[in-house]
Structure 1
Amino acid sequence: MSLLQHDHDPKADAPGGGTPEEVAPAVRACPTCQAELADGQDWCLNCGQAQPGRLANLPGKRAAVTVLALTTVLVGGAVAASYAALQDGSAAPGSTQLAQVSAAEPAAPVPAPATDPAASSALPAAPTTSAPADPGGTLPDTSSTPATPTPATPTPTPSTPSSSGSSTSSGTSTSSGSTGTSGSSTDSTADTRTSTTPTETAPTAIKLDGSAAALYDPYTRNTATGDVTKTLDADPGTSFPITVAPGSGSIGAGVTVDFGKTRGIREIDLTTKTPGFKVEVYATDSDELPPDVLDTRWAHLKDVTDVGTGAGNKQIISLGSGTTKYRHVLLWFTAPPPDGLTVRVSELKLLG
């Protein structure tokens, strides 16, 4: 057993029984630029290339390379399809074709308007500025360009040839709405204004027969007898009297006129043979006469004194525009004339 166990002599394994040669360690170099790399160096400091070694053995590198390769293929396919669609001039169904925006061309300068020499001498010329073209092909920013005011210049009015064939003056003269021409003056505008104020028409007589008139004596004060239709017979020679008893200070009776329907009344013309008395005018729209003058259905219209003291013993009583319509009118005599106790009505005319 001791014969088999002996120390191994490395020199015995060397050829020729000599000492084995020492092998120099291998020097790492970058496969790209052949620069020398230190032990454990993963990146080339000369060209920046990653070196094979620990990075190649990192877990998940194969999956990352696979994903990167698939992404590259998909992007390349999309780019190829887009290029083919643009070359054919039509986009794929469901896709949106983007419009190509060309670079904006510089706007042509606007020529300055023609001005009158006389006006241009008075107004200073406004400087015109134009925005320079954008070398980068982008649209110019118009918000930063100030607007250039254009001075107002008078526009010359061309002369109008005369209808008679003669030459006209170089200017247009406006005087009272007419245009001046050689040898003639024509009114160029017509007065089309119309008056909106209604024309006041004169009152017209209301046709009434004698039966429309009646004595109104609610207090039984009249002591005379007569025909009341004489007040509407259009004969000033006849009359109808109303007389009160001696010692009475007032008349207290009157004459009513029935229109037969409601209508407007504007004027009463009364002729008398006993001037100087006083009368009060009432009216009502009731179909029946109120029983006395104090009834509230009577509307008081007017009071007149010294009736018939004018020319021809005629009194005109104006009652307004006649917009209110009445059925009956009452002439209520109150104060007698200065020379007696009788009031005589020769003629009544009612106008509407």
Structure 2
Amino acid sequence: MTLQLLRDTETDKPDAATEAPAPAPPETRTCPKCSAPLEDGQDWCLNCGEAQPGGRRVSLPGKRATATVLALTTVLVGGAVAASYAALQDGSETATPPAQLAQVPTASQAAPAPTTAVPDASTAVPSDTVPSDTSAAPSDTDSLLPPDAGDTPDIPDSSGGTSSPADTTTSDTTTGTSTGTTKTDSTADTRTSTSTTKTETETEPVKIDLADGAGSLYDPFTRDTAAGDAAKAFDGDPNTSFPVTVAPGSTQIGAGLAVALPKLQGVREIELKTKTPGFKIEIYATDEEDLPPDVLDTRWAHLKDVKGVGSDTDGAETVNLGSGSTKYRHVLLWFTAPPTEGSTVRISELKLLG
């Protein structure tokens, strides 16, 4: 016979007490920024310093400071209004309008008293009554202003008549203007005439009168072999000439013609004529009374060089030396290169202009 074990279903059922769910742990507050745990009533995160929502400081942000600022502002505005009112009250009590002083006309502005009597201010006619006399005295305001040119009274003159100051002033002004214009025109004409004359004088050099024997041979190196007469360069005869001759075939002249001026003066131009064109000259000048012994002496002032003298002008040459502001005592024409043909330089005519 088989035995069957029956299961006790009562004992297999779980105990209600043991199968009851465990209670949920209490909720822990965390910082919404860094998730750090917070205690109850904690207003600030100790980890990141963030203010926590629902805290006492967050629920009343700035109310105390705002109230303080409003209270101070109200006090200051009230004090300013009170001070302004007090200042206005004091100024209105002490301020007095300035007294108006009537201007007393000077002797030159004094006018004869009007013949029409001026009514007193207390007995003045009403405003609706039009006075028949238009020459009544001006009001107080008008008396403080200077009279217009048209209202200036006539002043008796010595002849018994009357004349207006405005007319006299106008007449004097017109006369003065006319006189000044005439004087200016005359001065301008004089200056223009003087300037024109001076310009004409400067643009036309004048020939310098030289004394007899003013010209001489300048030959410090003894190069000349002709022994010519320097006076023939100043005699006014184009058929005569002053020659300077060197050895045949020489490529240099090395001698010159010195001219003594009557006094210290400026030289602006040199005019010469030659029968042997094509030579070269160097022009020097000195303010010494005696000629320097050598052309290389520093007392000679070099003025100008001229090549091919008279080659393109049929033997005539004009040398411009400037304004002539510097004054000299001697002028030297130093011949360097010989003419186109031969070894003789001839000066037919020579003029110095200052």
Give the TM-score normalised by the residue count of structure 2. Answer: 0.46
Give the TM-score normalised by the residue count of structure 1. Answer: 0.46
